Each structure stands twice: as C-alpha cells, then as structure tokens.
Amino acid sequence: MKEKKTVETSSENETTESKKVGRDRPDRPRRSRNPHRTPKPTVEASRGNQPESLEKSVEKAPVKSAGQSKPQNKKPNPNSQNKKPAHNNNKNGKSSVNRGGKRNKNSMGPLTTEVKDMLQKNRDANEERMNPWKQIDVNNKNKIRFTPLGGLGEIGGNIAVLEDEDTAIIIDVGMSFPDETMHGVDILVPNFSYLHTIKNKIKAIIITHAHEDHIGAVPYLFKELKFPIYGTPLALTMIENKFNEHKLKEDVKYFNYVTKREIYEIGTFKIEWMHMTHSIVDSCSLAVQTPAGTILHTADFKIDHTPIDNQTTDLQRFAYYGSKGVLCLFSDSTNSHNPGYTKSEAVVGKTFDTLFDLAEGRVIMSTFSSNTHRLFQAMDRGVVAGRKICVIGRSMERNVEIARRLGFIDIPDKHFIDAHEVSKFADSEVLVVTTGSQGEEMAALSRMATDEHRHIKLKPSDTVIISAHAIPGNEGSVSSLMNKLVKAGVTVRYKDFENIHVSGHASQEEQKLILRLAQPKFFLPVHGEYNHIAKHAKTAVSCGVNERNILLMSDGDQVEITTKYLKKVKTIKVGKSYIDNQNNKEIKADVVNDRQKMAEDGIVNVALQISQSTKKVVGKVVITSHGLVPNKEDKRFAHEIENIIKTFLLNVNDTQIASAKVLQEELRSIIRKHIVRTKRRYPIITLVIFLV
C-alpha cells in the first residue's frame, strides 16, 4: 500500500493536489494554522515519532476493507478513557478549562458549607409550607366517620352525617327533583332511617346556605325527628317560612343564628362558619375541629372576587386552617369538568343592561327564586329604566320578601306593584319577575305561555328573559317551555346571550385555589355525579394530594378518617321519599311504581260472577283495558279474555273454586301469560270475583 504525503508536504504539492480536485474558483493562499491547536496525526505516520497516546488511538481506529460497508466490531479498551485529559465541568456543563489549557476566570469553586446549609434550610421550609398537614399528631387514636345520605351520584338532595363516638351532626337536609318516570311526584326527600339509629348522639343540624337542595327537606325531617338547627339568618328565615307552611311554627325554638368567624362548641366538635360566595347570599363553608383533626367543608361555592354585595370569599380563614394542618377537605365537585374560572355574577348585570335597552314592551324575567343577587340586579335595572316591578310566583314572592326584610334587596316599596295593577301601566313601564325558569308545569311562566295566567297575557311586544340553565333532568321541560313561548310570538332571550346566566359553582382553577390553601392530608370530593367527583379527584392529585389519600364515594358509603388512614368501613341504607307538594304529604313507593307501570304497560280490569255449584260464569264478564290495546280492538281483546276464563272454569277443581282469593290468583296468572305472549307487555291486572 502506497504511503500518503505527511502533513509536512510542501505548499507547492498542496497546490497541485487542489488543482486535481477541479475547483472552479481562483487559487488563494491557504489559511494560516492555529499555533495553539495540536495537529492531527495521520494513520500512516511513523509510530516512533508520536506520543504513546496517539499510537494507541491509531491502533484502535477502524480500517475499512474494500467493499466493507460497516466498521469492524472491536472490543473497547476500558483504560482508553483514562488517557483523556481531565477537565472540571462547571454547573452549566461547560469545561472550566479553556482551549489554551488555562482556568476560566468566570468558573465557580465548590459550594461553601454556609450555602449548603441555607439550601437545606430552604428545602425544609418549603416542605413544611407545602405539607402543613405533617404537623398533625399521627399518634392521635381518635376516629371520625363521614356518611353522605344524599348529594353524591346526583345533583341536589344534599345531606351528610359527621360523627365520632359521642357526637354526630347533620350537614344540610336538602331535597331533589324527580325524573319523568315519577308521575305525580313534585320533590324527593332523603330516607332518614339512619338518623333514627343514631338519634341519641345527634347534637345539631348544620346549614351551610339556603338553597332548596340544602334546606328543602328540613320540614319533613322535623316531622320525624327534631334537633337544634344552626345557620345564618337568611337560611333560618327561609326554613321558618317552610315551617309555617307545614304547621311547624312552634319548632322555631330549635333555631340558633350564627355569626361568621365565631366558633361554636357542639358536642365534641368546634364549628366555624366561613363566608363563601355562591349564587345565593349568606352562603358559608365550614371548619369543623374534631378530636381527630380539622375538617374543612366548602359546601357549594365559587370564588367571586367582584360579588354584588362586595362580600368576597373568606380565603384568609382557609389559609389559616391550612397553615395549622387540615386532616381532610370536602369540596364541591359540580363544575369539576369546567376549565378556568367561573364568571362573576356581576357580568350578568351588564347583559341585563343590553337586554333592557333592546326591549320595547314589557320585560318578563325568570330565574331561580333563591338567586337573590340575580333578582336584585334585574330589579335595579328595572328601576333605572323607569319600570315598575311585579313579582309573581309563590316561592318568588316569599324569597323576595325575606331578602328585602333582611336588607339583601334594598329597593323601596314605591317601585313594586301587584299583578292586577300591571294593566294600569304602559308596557314599557313594567318589569315582571317570575318563577318557571325550569319549565315547571304549574309555575307562573308556564301558565303565561299557555295563556292560563289570570293577570298576565303575553303579547308579541313582550321580551321574556330566562336567566338560568336547565338543571340536569329538566332539559325536556325547558325545551317545551321555549316552544310555547315562541309560539306565543314573544321575543325570548335565553342562550343567545353569552352572559345571561353564570354558574354558582367553582370551576377547576377555583377548586385548585381551595386545595392549595387547605393543603389537606386527605380529600373527599362531594356534591355531584360520579364523573364529577372523579374529575375533581384528578384535579386534587395535580395539586399535590396523594392519590392514595383520596376516596370516591357514593350515597350510603360510610368513610372512617383517622390521622393515619382513610377508608370505607360499611354501607348505610339510603333512598328517597316521594312528596306531593299539593298537600305536602308523602307518596308511597308502591303508588309511584304502579303509576309508572300503568304508564308503560297499561291496566286490565276484570269483574265477573261465578256459580260454585255449576262452575260457570253467571251473567256477563266485564272487561276493560287502558293503555294496552287501541279502542277499536277493545271488543276483540275482551272476547279473548272471556274465552280464557271459561276454558279455565271447565277444568277447575273444588279446592280452587272454594275461595275467591285463590281463583283471583289463578286467573290473574293465566291472563298475564296470555297478554305477555300476545302483546309483549306486563300490565297491572285487577280481578274482582263474586262467588254465588
């Protein structure tokens, strides 16, 4: 193999070689070499003239043979790295020795002991700040139990029990709404059977705020059990009004009005009500100091920094308890799928400004009757626009009266008129505030839409504002109401304006704020369907709560909480009672089931006389059916059933015909089999048999 020229080749030869490459540009002088750079040796250089390290590097260099595409696999020399010059790397990963072999003037030396101590102290301070629950005494042997009896796996119907060995408190006693299969049912109230089993240690009912899904079932509980009630003035005043309707006036002696930020000793618990912003005024969260540790319960909430009454969330108290160490946090999960922040209630007022300016005739506004701030904003805009205010709807009238009496709605009497006075004023001078935003069939707005209201007849010049979103389950009713209003020719303002309604529940960023302020050891998401609490749990994990310290509950799950663990211990019987609001009485479950069955499968009535001696039908069999066959097929269906009965009597024995009750069961079974086989339905079958 012919040797190549070494690096000492003359410049003349270099010029000759460059010309062979075929460069198409003029020759120019070669750039001078860097005197500080060590020249690279060639592979064929004489080994005797090179350092030992260079010799080894040459020996290990891969050599390709003709036609070889990959380098040969050579076992690396484990000592080869030791031959490289050592360099001290600085913090940025750059060598502290420059190319000239001199130390970099900007390089930093090793950390001093003082700096290391300060870094460790800051790490310890951050650990203490981010995990204040570590202050909790793990040797504390006390236990508490939390049992939701309603409000989990559903929207509304909130009620829960917090207890230890000596004391139990009930947190809220709310109602919920029925679905479309519960015919004739107006509201649902929780099953109170568990409260009967622990009634001897229940010390109080704790009310967080005055929404129906938190206080609506209190009168029904008091008809069974009576305990002291603690709450803010608005909540207890609304409960008092319910007691008057249910003829429980004497039970107001159980009321205990609370002051926020004061601590009340109730049994072994110490409870503080902390102001919270929500879609109703005078709403509170709870701080419960138990023998096992501090429990924080947000109840329903959102973080509104610009509320209508300028009473912001008491975040200072959350931070205070968080710094002391929170054993467990219970937090509202209703809007846990919503990213960002829930908008302030104040934005709705700006939308009302626009809608009132656009309206030429009467303005009819409907919202939740308990949303005091929403009502105040609408009424205030009405006064500014020179409109008289007419409040219609029993619950709306009652709540507005209570809010005005307590000073939450500060509008003079001169601006209000009765329903029968509306016709005395020009349309542009009237604002009607009414119930019915959820499409309730008997609510005032629904009766207006069907032209059944006594005083308000809709006109094409009217503007109807529905400032609410449909509660889950009410979408069909709200859609039906919208259709009726549009048919009536009025202008409907609903979802076409972005800020016509805002939620009263916290979105993800507000949930994160509470989680970060409380920094709890354990976390229990509450209030909402299962998918809501599952999403809230993920948010908690992102905020530093250990996934093992979170439990997803359903109604009836009893959870035990100690300083060391959180676990489900048993399941409590739960359920709902059906209530008819027309008489405030319970409808038994079997009645509701029969109504549903009749609606789905119909009913068959059979009446006949049978002679015990001849075992034959006496007279005519009377057969009627409803909801099973069309009217034109009634006769044929009746004839089929009559033939079945006569055939059965041909083979009946003396034992069967001796009792009308036995005959009824036998005939009902035979008729049901025939209907199931021919109609694929399971109707209610009533039989009336007279033995003669």
Do 635 and 665 lie in one domain? The reply is: yes
> In this predicted model, what pLDDT tens digit does every residue of 177-200 receive, in sequence order?
887 788 888 889 999 999 999 999
Task: Tell me the mean pLDDT in the region 36-56.
Answer: 47
Task: Output the DSSP codes for 565-634.
Answer: -EEEEEE----EEEEETTTTEEEPHHHHHHHHHHHHH-EEEEEEEE-TTT-SEEEEEEEEEESSS-GGGH
Q: Of 463, 493, 523, which marks where a domain is finished?
A: 493
Q: Is residue 392 part of a domain?
A: yes
Residue 104's pLDDT band (boundaries 50, 70, 90)?
low
Residue 164's pLDDT band (boundaries 50, 70, 90)?
very high
Q: What is the pLDDT of residue 656?
A: 76
> In this predicted model, what pLDDT tens digit does every residue of 408-425 receive, in sequence order?
999 999 999 999 999 999
Cα gap 293→144, rounded to integer Å: 9
Which residues are registered as beta bridge partners of 562? none
Q: Is residue 120 part of a domain?
A: no
Residues present in the chain in total: 692
> In this predicted model, what pLDDT tens digit does every residue of 337-395 receive, in sequence order?
999 999 999 999 999 999 999 999 999 999 998 899 999 999 999 999 999 999 999 88
Q: What is the pLDDT of residue 80?
A: 45
Do 456 and 433 lie in one domain? The reply is: yes
Better-predicted residue by pLDDT, 75 or 253: 253
Q: Is residue 531 part of a domain?
A: yes
Do 649 and 618 lie in one domain? The reply is: yes
Cα gap 556→194, rounded to integer Å: 10
Cα 456 to Cα 376, 430, 432, 446, 536, distances in angstroms: 22, 11, 9, 11, 45
DSSP 261: T
Q: What is the pLDDT of residue 18?
A: 43
Q: What is the pLDDT of residue 9?
A: 40
Q: Any idea what the CATH number is for the domain that residue 473 is in?
A: 3.40.50.10710
Do 438 and 515 lie in one domain? The reply is: no
Q: Does residue 555 carry a pLDDT above 90?
A: yes
> In this predicted model, what pLDDT tens digit does every residue of 226-269 receive, in sequence order?
999 999 999 999 999 999 989 999 999 999 999 999 999 999 99
Task: Tell me the mean pLDDT in the region 207-227.
Answer: 95
Q: Is residue 252 part of a domain?
A: yes
> In this predicted model, what pLDDT tens digit does every residue of 472-491 receive, in sequence order?
777 888 999 999 999 999 99
Rounded to a whole number of angstroms, the distance between the first and last alpha carbons of the chain is 131
Do 214 and 159 lie in one domain? The reply is: yes
Q: What is the pLDDT of residue 38?
A: 56
In percent, the amount of the chain with pLDDT more than 70 equals 85
The residue segments making up the domain with residue 384 are 346-493
Residue holding tokens 């055939």?
Answer: 647
DSSP 437: T
Q: What is the pLDDT of residue 339?
A: 96
Q: What is the pLDDT of residue 20?
A: 46
Task: Tell me the mean pLDDT in the region 561-588.
Answer: 90
Task: Tell me the mean pLDDT in the region 304-330.
Answer: 96
Q: Which positions ≥6 away from 336 have C-beta within 8 Å?
A: 508, 511, 525, 528, 532, 533, 535, 536, 539
Residue 565's pLDDT band (boundaries 50, 70, 90)?
very high
Better-predicted residue by pLDDT, 2 or 683: 683
The pairs formed by 77-81 with CB atoms below 8 angstroms and a separation of 24 or more are 80/56
Q: Does residue 15 carry a pLDDT above 60?
A: no
Q: Any idea what the CATH number is for the domain that residue 172 is in?
A: 3.60.15.10
Cα gap 456→439, rounded to integer Å: 17
Q: Average the pLDDT over each of 49-53, 137-141, 457-461 and give the range with the smallest value.
A: 49-53
Residue 212, helix vs strand vs coil: helix
Q: Is residue 628 part of a domain?
A: yes
Q: Does residue 539 carry a pLDDT above 90?
A: yes
Task: Tell me the mean pLDDT in the region 654-683.
Answer: 87
Task: Tell me the mean pLDDT in the region 568-573.
Answer: 94
Q: What is the pLDDT of residue 559?
A: 97
- Closest Cα partner for 657 from 610, 606, 605, 608? 610
Q: What is the pLDDT of residue 30?
A: 61
Q: Does residue 158 carry a pLDDT above 50?
A: yes
Q: Does residue 676 carry a pLDDT above 80?
A: yes
Can you give the pTM of this predicted structure?
0.78
Q: Is residue 442 part of a domain?
A: yes
Task: Output the DSSP codes for 58-89.
Answer: HHHS--PPTT--S-------TTGGGGSPP--B
Residue holding tokens 């009792």?
Answer: 659
Q: What is the pLDDT of residue 618?
A: 84
> In this predicted model, what pLDDT tens digit does every residue of 621-662 receive, in sequence order?
899 999 988 988 889 999 999 888 888 888 888 777 778 888
Q: What is the pLDDT of residue 29?
A: 56
Do 406 and 484 lie in one domain? The reply is: yes
Q: What is the pLDDT of residue 11?
A: 42
Task: Tell me the mean pLDDT in the region 504-518.
Answer: 97
Do 449 and 520 lie in one domain? The reply is: no
Do 420 and 475 lie in one domain? The reply is: yes
Do 268 and 406 lie in one domain? The reply is: no
Q: Is residue 663 part of a domain?
A: yes
Q: Any idea what the CATH number is for the domain that residue 679 is in?
A: 3.10.20.580
> CB–CB of 369/396 below 8 Å?
yes
DSSP 415: G
Q: What is the pLDDT of residue 37?
A: 57
Better-predicted residue by pLDDT, 597 or 36: 597
Q: What is the pLDDT of residue 305?
A: 96
> In this predicted model, what pLDDT tens digit does every residue of 528-537 receive, in sequence order?
899 999 999 9
Number of domains in the chain: 3
Q: What is the pLDDT of residue 647?
A: 87
Q: Of 493, 523, 545, which marks where a domain is finished?
A: 493
> CB–CB of 389/433 below 8 Å?
yes
Q: Is residue 62 part of a domain?
A: no
Q: What is the pLDDT of residue 16?
A: 44
Do 291 and 229 lie in one domain? The reply is: yes
Residue 156's pLDDT band (boundaries 50, 70, 90)?
confident
Do 296 and 356 lie in one domain? The reply is: no
Report the chain's mean pLDDT, rounded to a whole number: 85
Do 453 and 523 lie in one domain? The reply is: no
